[in-house]
Amino acid sequence: RIVKIRRSEFMGIDAATRRNLELTEPLRFDGSKKNTLLYVLDKTETAMGGRLLRKWIERPLQIEEQINERLDAVEAISDATREREVLSDALSDVYDIERLCSRIAYGTVTPKDCLSLCSTLAALPLIYAAANSFACSKLQSLAARIDPMTEIAELLKSAINDDAGISVKDGNIIKSGYNAEVDELRSLAENGGKWLRDFESAEKTRTGIKTLKVSYNRVFGYYIEVSKSYAGSVPLEYQRKQTLANSERYITPQLKEAEEKILSAKENCIQLEYRLFTEIREKLSDCLSALKLNSAVIAELDAFCSFAKAAVANGYVRPRINTKGRISITDGRHPVVEPGMKDAFVPNSTDMNMQNDRLIILTGPNMAGKSTYMRQVALITLMAHLGSFVPAKAANICITDRIFTRVGASDSLSTGQSTFMVEMSEMANILNNATSRSLLIIDEIGRGTSTFDGLSIAWAVLEYISNPEKCGAKALFATHYHELTELEGKLSGVKNYRISVKEIGDNIIFLRKIVRGGADKSFGIQVAKLAGLPAALIERAKNILSELEASDINNASQRVKAEDKPTQMSLIGETVADADEVCAGVIAELAKTDADRMTPMEALSKLYELSSRVKIAKS
């Protein structure tokens, strides 16, 4: 059945975001769903419920009323422990009705499938009672849609053998007592020898022939053998078939009829059972619509119950939904990372809105938790749109039309794209499709090129996102370009936050806490030490860092000694002359410079050099 999907009803999630947030598959895919949001939330009892839950995660809602309707159902189940357990137990007896419907539609349903369906239909009254016991209109409306299918349940219970197998060609399908002819044929096939012995005994008594016996050969089949001494006592209905030296062989219509039944009973029984089973298949086909309806209801109840179990087990809370563009999370936690941690997860709060807190620039060392925090905000936002409770003390989540992520990077050999090109392509997709109602997660853009180029691109991206006329989306922007922290106060809605760390000598301790303000160090060497790089290499890196810092052009002017102006040395080793002469020289040099033939790096270096001359001359 074709179902129309309106994009306006669902949150947009592109392939990169599905991958980066690990919704249904981990980044390091090993064929399992472990370490994914699906793994955390999937506590379903049925196959239909599991598939529906995956569909919900891949297609979050965007309609406030629908989200709150789901949250109402989850809250009702979460609050009622005993009723939740009863519903869960009833659902555990349900087989995969959706798959059974497909087999029924194609005429390939097996006797074993019918037993599974019979067991499922027997659980429907229990599911109805359990769902109807919750004080929730959504759950009660679902319960009211359940069709008990009593006639089909009784048919399957009375018709299908309890130990029926998969094959429809081997018999043992129809239960004893359902069809008299099947019972007779089965009795003949199983008790043919007993019937013959009873027949022989009965004929001896009726005729008085003590030597009468019933035998069998391949030529005549079953026959009656009488010794010649009793030839005169043979009844008239006996038909002679063969004369031997000491006996005569006869047949009777009753014996021939029994022979036919006995010899063909098993084959006839199998054929008759198949014909009856075909009739049952046809009756099931007439009930497909009711089966599909029950399947959909059970799947939805199971998904709600799964959300409730996850919420209770992990200490989640019900989020509030707003349409005012605010994301407020108190002590939020990462739903996927938290369960796998040996130590307690450090919670962090978030407060974003459409005015002064729209764009967070997040700085701090590697491994401190920047990516975890940003993904955490995105996942909590997405979970709220699923109608699920969220890992936080409190949450107020605005309706979000799309979530975009630009996290990590790797080259694409198949398409001939470098790491930087992949990064820029993903960023272009985000900027071309994001709206003011979107949430952006951008992690360290601009790493794949030179420092100045990367900084320039990151700066420009921030300006573009912060501009309400061009984008205006809410964004979390992690970076090691500490120069970007200067944008707070210059761009509307930009706020600086950092991951706090504690320095102890040359070592650092990650506190994992988000605090206001920008970081001025990345602690790269300390992180490299924690990663286990050789001690000699770490010491060499420290020495090189000291040399680089000593020659940093930003600090050069501070190292110039305060001497008399006629003897003061400039950054390029010239005696400082009169300020007017220096300015005139700078102007002349600029006039001779061909900017079109310079790289961006050369241009920036030249500009810095000339600017420094003027500053020193005027100091």
What is the pLDDT at residue 1?
67
Does residue 410 have a pLDDT over 70? Answer: no
Q: Rounded to two decimals, what is the model's pTM?
A: 0.77
Question: Would you state the pLDDT for residue 573?
Answer: 42
- Furthest-apart CA pair in the chain: how many Å? 159
Give, as one character, the DSSP assignment of residue 344.
P
Q: Read off the pLDDT of each residue in 589-605 and give the average, rounded to a whole number.
A: 72
- Name the packing angle between helices 97-106 and 253-285 (round to 10°): 120
For 34-50, the pLDDT digits (tens) are 889 999 999 999 999 99
pLDDT value of position 564: 39
What's the CATH code, domain 180-269?
A: 1.10.1420.10
600 has pLDDT over 70: no
Confidence check: pLDDT of 29 > 70: no
- Residue 571 clears pLDDT 70, i.e. is over it: no
Round to whole Å and give the CA distance between 94 and 555: 72
Tell me the three state secondary structure of residue 570: coil
Q: What is the model's pLDDT at position 512?
A: 87
Q: Could you state, in order of their start, the residue ranges of all structural domains in the chain? A: 7-167+281-314, 180-269, 320-520, 553-618
Q: Does the pLDDT value for residue 301 go beyond 70?
A: yes
7-167+281-314 with 180-269: one CATH topology?
A: yes
What is the C-alpha to C-alpha distance for residues 148 and 65, in angstroms, rounded to an integer? Answer: 30
Question: 7-167+281-314: what fold?
Answer: MutS, DNA mismatch repair protein; Chain A, domain 3 (1.10.1420)
pLDDT, greater one: 221 or 414: 221
User: Could you report how far apart the first and last alpha carbons of the chain are, in Å?
Assistant: 80
The candidate with the shortest Cα–Cα distance to 499, out of 332, 381, 273, 348, is: 348
Specify the CATH number for 320-520; select among 3.20.20.70, 1.10.3720.10, 3.90.700.10, 3.40.50.300.
3.40.50.300
Name the token pair of 564: 């008399």
Round to whole Å and give the CA distance between 146 and 294: 6
State pLDDT tens for residues 543-570.
888 877 676 544 443 433 333 344 343 4
With H, G, I as helix, E, B as strand and everything else as coil, classify residue 1. coil
Examine the pLDDT at 520 and tell me if it is beyond 80: no
Cα(188)–Cα(552) distance, rounded to whole angstroms?
103
Please state, in angstroms and rounded to a whole number, the distance separating the CA atoms of residues 518 and 475: 16
Q: DSSP letter string over 47-102?
A: HHHHHHHHHHHHS-B--HHHHHHHHHHHHHHHH-HHHHHHHHHHHTT---HHHHHH
Give the model confidence (pLDDT) of 101-115 as tens digits: 999 999 899 999 999
| Contact call for residues 204 and 212 (beta carbons, < 8 A) | yes
Per-residue pLDDT of 185-204, as tens digits, reads 888 777 787 888 899 999 99
